[in-house]
Structure formats: C-alpha cells, structure tokens
Amino acid sequence: MAERIEIMHEKNMQKETSKQLVLGMVVKVLVYAFLILMGVIVLFPFYWMLNSSLKTLTEYRLSVPTFFPRQVMFSNYAEAFQAASLGRLFLNTMIVGLVSTILSLVITILSAFAFARLEFKGKNILFAGLLATMMIPGELFTITNYTTVTNFGWINTYTVLIVPFLVSVFYIYLLRQNFLQIPNELYLAAKVDGTSDFKYLCKVMIPLSLPTLISITILKMMGAWNSYIWPRLVANDAKHRMVTNGLRNAFRDTTGDVNYPVQMAAVALVSAPLFLVFIFLRKYIMKGVSRSGIKG
Amino acid sequence: MANSMVESRHPWKAWIYLSPALVLLLVFTVWPIINTVRMAFLVDYSGLKAVGGMTFKFGIGNFSKVLKYKKFIQCMKNTVIICFITVPVSTMLALLISVALNSIKGLQKFLQTVFFLPYVTNSIAIGMVFAAMFNIVGSFYGTENELIVTAGIINNVIEFFGGKPVNWINYGSTYAANITVMVIYIVWNALPFKILILLGGLQSVNKQYYDAAKVDGTSRRRIFTRITVPLLSPMIAYVVITGFIGGFKEYTSIVGIFGESMGPADNAGRLNTMVGFIYDSLASNNQGRASAAALILFGLILIVTLLQLYVSKKRVHY
C-alpha cells in the first residue's frame, strides 16, 4: 500500500516536472518570438531606407511596394552626393569635429587633473558650481551666446561652431572620476623623483585613462555629426554648413511628392559613418553612453 | 598631507591648468545665465532695439505675455503630451525587452547590438526615413487626375491586414495622427538608451534572489513584480528622469519628420515644441520673450525632476 502511494507520488512528480519543462519551453519560444519581433521592428526603418534608396522613382511609387529593388540603382547615391553637395558637408563636419575634439580633450584633461590632483582654495565649491550648471537646459545659454558670437563677428565661421562648446562639465566630471582612481602613491613617488606635474599627467595619468578619453572622443565626434540647432542658427552658409543641416536644407520637403530614392540614398550616406564607428568601437560607445545619459 | 605640502608652494598652478576651461565657461555659460535672467525681466527686450538705444522696464511682463500667448500654449501642450506618452511607453517596452534579453543565452549579444543601433543615428536623417514610411504620394482622396501612387509602407501594412489607410502626416492630416507618428518615432529613438541602462542593471542583480524564489516556487509574474522591478527601481527612476528631461527638450525629431514647418502642409507650426518656440522668438529678435520661455522650460524640468526624486525616495529600493 505504502509502496503504491510512493509510486503514484513519483509519477505525479514526473508529470509535474514534464509539465514545467513544457511550460518552460513555451515561455522560451514566446520570449524569443517577442525579442525577434521587436528586433525586426527596430531594424525595419534601416532596411526600408536601403531598399528605397536603391529603387527607381517609378518603382518606389508603385502602389504595391516591392521588398527588393527590381533594378538596383546605385546611381541614386551619386546623385544624392551631388544634390546635397555631401562632399563639402562631410569636409566641414570633419574639420569642426576633429578640431573641437582635440581642443576639448586638452581642456578637459587639464581641468580634470586640477580637480583630481591639485590643491587650491575653493576647489570643492567651484566643482559643485560647475556640476550645478549641468541641470540647465542648453537653450538658456543659446539665447545669449547667439548675441555674444554676433558681437565677436564669428557668424559663418568655423570658430563659432567650435569654441562655444569646447568645455563640457560632464566630460570634466567623467575624467576626474577616472583620475581619482589612480592611486595617490604613484603621484607622490613621481614627486619624490622630481617629476613635474605636467610630465606626470602626460606619462602616467593619460595612458591610464585612455578608455575614458576614447569614449569622450567618440561622443564628441558624434555630437558634431548630429548637431543641428546651433549650426543652423550661426553658420548656415554653403561654405561652413555641417552635414545634418545640409541634409535638411537639400531636402526640405518630407511629405508630398518627393524623390524619395535619392533622399534615402543621402540619408544612408550620412548614416554610414556613424554605423562604421559603431561597428568598430561598440564597447566604448556603450560604456560612454551608459554613463552620460545624453544623446549625441 | 604630503600632497598639500608639495602644492602649497604653487597655489597658482591649479588655476593655470583650469584657466582655459574657466575663461570659456565665464563667457559661454556664466554670462548667459546672468544675461538670460536679466533679459527675461526686461519687458519686451529686443537686442536690436537695445542697440538702437531703447531702454526697457523691469518687470514680469515677458512671463505673463508668454503664458497668454496661444502659440506658446500650443507648444507647451505638444511638449507635455509627447512627454507623458513617450516616457511611460518607452520605459515599459524597454523594461520588457531588457528582462527578456536577460533571460536568454543564445543570440543575447547579437540582439543587444540590434537594439542599440537606433542610438547611433542622426535624428534628422532617420526622421526623414520615418516620414517616407508614413507619407502618401499623390492625393489621399484619389481625385481623377491624380496619379494613384504609393500610400507609404505603413499604410500598405495596415491595408494588408484589412485596415483602412490613414492620412498620417500629409495635407489635411489630424492632430492625433501627427502625434501618433511622433510618439512612434520618439519611442523608437528612446529605446536603446533605456535598454542599455536597464539591462546593465539586471545583469548586476544578485542571482541569489532568483535562486531563492525558484526554491520557493514563486511564479514568473511574482518574480517580476516583487524582485526584478524593486531591485531595478534605481535604474528605472534614472531612465524616467532623463527621459522626461529629454522629452521636454524635444525638437529635432519633429524637424526630422515634418521639416522646419513643424507641422503638416496645411497647418505649419502645429507640432512646435517649447524649444522650437524659444528659437522662433530668438529668430524674430524677441530675446526677452525667448529668455522668459527658456526660464519657464527650466522651471518645468526642475519641478518634474524634483517631484520624481521625491517620489523615488519613497518608492525606490536601494
């Protein structure tokens, strides 16, 4: 009798576990289905951009869409490159991006070093004050800065695109935290050896915080690539126009009867550098972004 | 101790290291704060008129005018609607995706990369892609001399499932349709950052909690609401607050879809936001009005942030 009960119990248990197994499988399938569906939705705009950019206008305008171009039109890309004068836009953006990144790195490193390693009166108050300015939306600064740069005679120059944004309190904060993690003993040892502060900064601190510096570089370059509002306000001439602005300018109409294949080719060309950077430097981008909470 | 001994001989040294940053901050950050507050309280201040020698009365005239201005109210309405729909929707979706991603092994890295892709985009450029997906080429009502052309891929999909095509962003489209498109685009854009943060949080949660729950036979839903969400609450609070701050400053994604007219062809400016209002005022040389609007924006962001910090202090489990 007791044996029987035990066997029945065991059978029940087996039933239970197999039931759980099946349930687990179902849940797993559902989870994958959900993720893949969301992934497809997320990727769809990119696919549609590429698909549309390779079609002829007639094919794009078919009332039943084709999901792969019948006739692959690489010429759309050449046309887009010309129509938006992308060459010039890329060049301008590269100049602004590179110069502002280099200068910004120098300024950030010097300030972060002062805040992390040097002693001076009012250090903590000054640092807290800087952090407080991060709360203020950028638009508040733009109103006055627009007047300031006009008075400086900087309108329609590279300077106006570079100088006002060289200092980022956030980058200083990020790098200072990194510098603080480097043990103080190293600094004191260097002092005893008679190494100057500047030499120590270049030989020890910068190499040790290279990952943070790379993150800052990428975020800054992406910022230049994506900036739109300020360049439109202060440097919207053909000679200095940057890529986002130029794209919007070259294709003013988004609705109605637009030559979408060429427009999408231009969009793809503008997006390509960002994707290339992402593919090669994914780790640094994700690390930098997760600490920043800012978009480009 | 030794540190200060070494440095006390050269207290000016730190200031040399700091000088480039401080000079730039004084000109482009500190002065603007002072000047913007000044202009906001000078009634009808205009840079052009000030150069011409005009003086302005001190008062709160700019604020009361801005708040009575219909255009501003519309901008504020748009901003608030977009914020209060996109932040909860994107946070919920991001939470679901992160939890799902965290529970799988195969394909995790790959899918993680896929979900991060929208982050590395230019919001104007991809906005143009979204516009193309929603745009109808030709007459929506199909008058006889109009060519029948594409209704946009989204409408094609809707028709495929037996629905009726919608005029999303074209001439004569409704406000609700416009907002829907904006919400879809902004949520798509906001997901990567939120997933990155929430997944990072999930991966650092101690596995012991889940093992204990498994031993107790706790149901999946209970695990989610009683373990995952509470342990993740600091990250959730973080993405909600940054989401609101970003949402209040929404501007470029609307330019991406609607162009600088900020609305469908028959109703320019309908979807303008607070940031857009500030720039419009600036462009028409109304610095007083722009400054007042910027301070109102700052005030709103501050209030929402403090409110959320207050709420999360009570509800967030650290």
Query: Which of B18, B104, B131 comes nearest A255 by C-beta?
Result: B131
Angular region, A148: left φ>0, alpha ψ -120 to 50, beta rest? alpha
Asked if B39 lies within 8 A of A143 by C-beta distance, the reply is yes
CB contact under 8 A, B128 and A187: no
Which of the four pLDDT bands, split at 50, 70 and 90, describes residue B220?
confident
Which amino acid type is present at position B265? A
Where residue A287 falls among pLDDT bands split at 50, 70, 90? confident
Q: CA-CA distance, B68 to B77, in Å (whole number)?
A: 13
Nearest residue in A to B242, CA atom: A293
Q: Which residue of B has its CA nearest to A166?
A: B24
Residue B34 lies in a domain: no
What distance in Å separates the CA atoms of residue B21 and residue A104, rounded to the nearest whole number? 9
If one counts the domains in chain B, the total is 1
ipTM of the complex: 0.88
Q: What is the pLDDT confidence band of residue A12, given thresholds at 50, 70 and 90? A: low
In angstroms, the CA B241 to CA B263 distance is 28
Q: What's chain A look like in SS3? A: CHHHHHHHHHHHHHHHHHHHHHHHHHHHHHHHHHHHHHHHHHHHHHHHHHHHHCCCHHHHCCCCCCCCCCCCCCHHHHHHHHHCCHHHHHHHHHHHHHHHHHHHHHHHHHHHHHHHHCCCCCHHHHHHHHHHHCCCCHHHHHHHHHHHHHHCCCCCCCHHHHHHHCCCHHHHHHHHHHHHCCCHHHHHHHHHCCCCHHHHHHHHHHHHCHHHHHHHHHHHHHHHHHCCHHHHHHCCCCCCCCHHHHHHHHCCCCCCCCCHHHHHHHHHHHHHHHHHHHHHHHHHHHHHHHHHCCCC
Residues of A in contact with B266 (CB under 8 A): none
Task: Confirm whether B267 is domain-assigned.
Answer: yes
Report if residue B58 sits inside a domain. no
Closest alpha carbon within chain B to A257 = B137
Q: What is the pLDDT of residue B13?
A: 87
Residue A248: list chain B partners with CB under 8 A: 124, 255, 259-260
The pLDDT confidence band at residue A44, using thresholds 50, 70 and 90, is: very high
CATH at residue B304: 1.10.3720.10
Is B49 a domain residue?
A: no
Domain membership flag for residue B261 = yes
Confidence of residue A159 (pLDDT cuts 50, 70, 90): very high
Closest alpha carbon within chain A to B135? A255
Q: How far is A241 from chain B (nearest CA, A)?
A: 15
- pLDDT category, B189, cuts 50, 70, 90? very high
Q: Which residue has the higher pLDDT, B294 or A277?
A: B294
Q: What is the rounded CA–CA span in Å between residue B90 and residue B172?
A: 29
- Domain presence at residue B228: yes
Are residues A109 and A178 in contact, defined by beta-carbon separation less than 8 angstroms? no
pLDDT tens for each residue of A84-136: 889 999 999 999 999 999 999 999 999 999 999 888 888 999 999 999 898 88
Q: Per residue in A174-228, pLDDT tens?
A: 899 889 988 888 888 888 888 888 888 988 899 999 988 998 998 899 888 999 9
Amino acid at B131: A
For chain B, the distance separating the N- and C-terminal CA atoms, rounded to the nearest angstrom, is 35
Spatial distance between the Cα atoms of A215 and A198, rounded to a whole number of angstroms: 23
Contact A143 B33 (CB under 8 A): no
From the CA of B315, how many Å to the nearest CA of chain A? 22
DSSP character at residue B264? -
Could you tell me how many CB contacts below 8 A there are between chain A and chain B? 290
At B219, the amino acid letter reads: S
CB contact under 8 Å between B11 and A285, yes or no, is no
User: Which residue in B14, B170, B283 is closest to A118 by CB distance?
Assistant: B14
Cα A227 to Cα A242: distance, rounded to the nearest angstrom: 8
């007219």: which residue's tokens? B261
Predicted confidence (pLDDT) at residue A40 exceeds the cutoff of 50:
yes
Nearest-angstrom CA–CA distance, B207 and A252: 53
Q: Quick one: closest CA in A to B148, which residue?
A: A63
Contacts of B13 in chain A (CB under 8 A): 118, 197
**Which of A40-49, A114-123, A251-260, B116-125 is the least confident region?**
A251-260
**Does A270 sit within 8 Å of B18, measured CB to CB?**
no
Is residue A90 within 8 Å of residue A272, measured between CB atoms? no
Predicted confidence at residue A102, as pLDDT, reads 96
Does a structural domain hold residue B32? Answer: no
For residue B261, the 8-state DSSP code is G
Q: What DSSP letter does each residue of B45-71 carry, written as one string?
A: --HHHHHTT----BSSHHHHHHHH-HH
CA angle B272, B277, B278 (to 5 degrees): 145
- Cβ distance B132 to A121 less than 8 Å, yes or no, reads no
Of A55-69, B96-110, B118-132, which range is least confident?
A55-69
pLDDT band at B317 (very low <50, low <70, confident <90, very high): low
A35 vs A248, higher pLDDT: A35
Evaluate whether residue B47 is within a structural domain. Answer: no
Distance between start and end Cα atoms, chain A:
74
Domain, as residue range, for B243:
64-135+170-315
Residue B136 has pLDDT above 70, yes or no: yes
